[in-house]
Amino acid sequence: MGIEVAVEGLTKTFGRQNIWSDLTLTLPAGEISVMLGPSGTGKTVFLKSLVGLVRPERGRVLVDGVDMVGSRERDVYEARKRFGLMFQDGALFGSMPLFDNIAFPLREHTGRKESEIRRIVLERMEMVGLLGSEGKLPGEISGGMRKRAGLARALVLDPQIILIDEPDSGLDPVRTSYISQLLIDLNAQIDATMLIVTHNLDIAGTVPDNMGMLFRRGLVAFGPREVLLTSDEPVVAQFLSGRRAGPIGMAEEKDQATIDREETQGVVEQTPAGRPVMPQLEPTPGLPRRQAVRRRQERVRAMLHELPPAAQRAVVAGFAPEVSA
Ligand SMILES: Nc1ncnc2c1ncn2[C@@H]1O[C@H](COP(=O)(O)OP(=O)(O)O)[C@@H](O)[C@H]1O
Ligand SMILES: [Mg+2]
C-alpha cells in the first residue's frame, strides 16, 4: 500500500533564481494528487526534490521517517526505491527494445532471475496496455506508447509512491482520456500514493482526490479536489477555465498594470459561483475498487467544516452512497 509524503517548508533556489518558497503539503497515503501550474513554475523541480534528485535549501520531505532533503546520500538512495518516477518524455533508452527498457530497474537494483524479471515486466506491460510491443524500439512507437512504457518502467519495483510528470503532454484528447482511465485503474490495482503534474484540465477534473497549484513561487492551495475545482481565487479559476483574462499571462505572470487595465476594461469575467465539479472516474469494471476512496472520505469528512461552502457542497455530493450510508 502507498505511504504518506509530508512536505514541510520546502524552498528551492538555483543561483539567484528562487523557484518556490515554503511549500507545505501532505500527499495522503494511497490517494491520487494532481499538481497544476503554468510552465516554468517549478513543477518538475518539485517532483525531483521529493526523490532527492534536487536538494532544496530549506525544508523537509518525510517518507517513512527519512528526510529526502537532509539525509545522507546513502539513506536517500535507499528511500528512493520506494518511488516510481515517470519523466515527461518517458526517458527511455533509444537503442533498447521496450522489454529491456522496462526491465532495466529490475536488472539494475535486484538480483532477480531472468524468468522472474520476464514475469514482472510482462505483467506491468499488460497493466499499461503494451503487451505485444516488447520488441519495439522507442523510436518505432507513438508518443502515447512511450509514455505508457515509461509508466510501466516506473512500476516494476513495486513503488509505494508514483510521481508522474505531464502524462498528457503531446497527446491528443482521446489518448489523454485513456491515460486518465489508466491512472485510476493503476491506483485501484496497486493502491500506491500518486502525484501527477499536469496542465490538462480533463485529467485535473476527473482523476485526482486532491489538487494543488504552483504559482508565483508558492503553493496557491493544496487540498481535496473540490476546493480547487470550486475555487474563485483568480489564478485557480483562470487556469481551470483556460481563460486569457486573469493573473496568468503568456510569460507566466502579467504585471500588475496589465491586470488593473483588464479589470477597468471589464475583461475579467467573474467566475460563476459554484462551478460544477465533474464526477471522478471509476476503475474499469472488473477491477478492484480503489481502497483510497473510503480512507479519503473519512479524512475529508473530518476536515469538512474547514472547507469553503462551495467545496463542502461538492464534497458531500460526491460521497459514494454505499460508504456514507
Ligand atoms: N538544474 C537546474 N539548474 C538551474 N535552473 C534550473 C534547473 N532545473 C530547473 N531550473 C529552472 O527552474 C525553473 C522551473 O523549472 P521546471 O521545474 O522545469 O518548471 P515546470 O516543470 O513547472 O515547467 C525554470 O526556470 C528552470 O529553468
Ligand atoms: Mg516540467
Segment 305-318, tens digit of pLDDT? 999 999 999 999 88
Count CB-CB contacts under 10 A for residue 167.
25
Where do the domains of the chain lie?
A: 233-272
Q: Which three cell numbers stand for residue 82?
A: 520506494
CB 277 within 8 A of CB 318: yes
Statement: residue 268 has pLDDT above 50: no
Between the CA of 88 and the centroid of ligand 2 the distance, in Å, is 7
**For range 211-224, the mean pLDDT:** 94
- The predicted structure's pLDDT at residue 169: 78
DSSP output for 2-70: ---EEEEEEEEEETTEEEEEEEEEEE-TT-EEEEE--TTSSHHHHHHHHTTSS--SEEEEEETTEETTT
The pLDDT-based confidence of 16 (bands split at 50, 70, 90) is: very high
Segment 141-194, tens digit of pLDDT? 988 889 899 999 999 999 999 999 999 877 788 888 888 999 999 999 999 999
37 lines ligand 1 (CB under 6 A): yes
* pTM for the predicted model, two decimal places: 0.90
Segment 286-306, tens digit of pLDDT? 999 999 999 999 999 999 999
What is the rounded CA–CA span in Å between residue 166 and residue 198?
5
Of all atoms in ligand 1, which is nearest to the CA of residue 42? 17
Q: What is the largest CA-CA distance in the chain?
A: 69
Q: Which three cell numbers stand for residue 167?
A: 502524462
Q: Which three cell numbers stand for residue 135?
A: 520488441
Between the CA of 108 and the centroid of ligand 1 the distance, in Å, is 28
- The predicted structure's pLDDT at residue 308: 93
What DSSP state is assigned to residue 80? H
Q: Phi then psi for 153, rounded to 5 degrees?
A: -65, -35
Which amino acid makes up residue 87? F
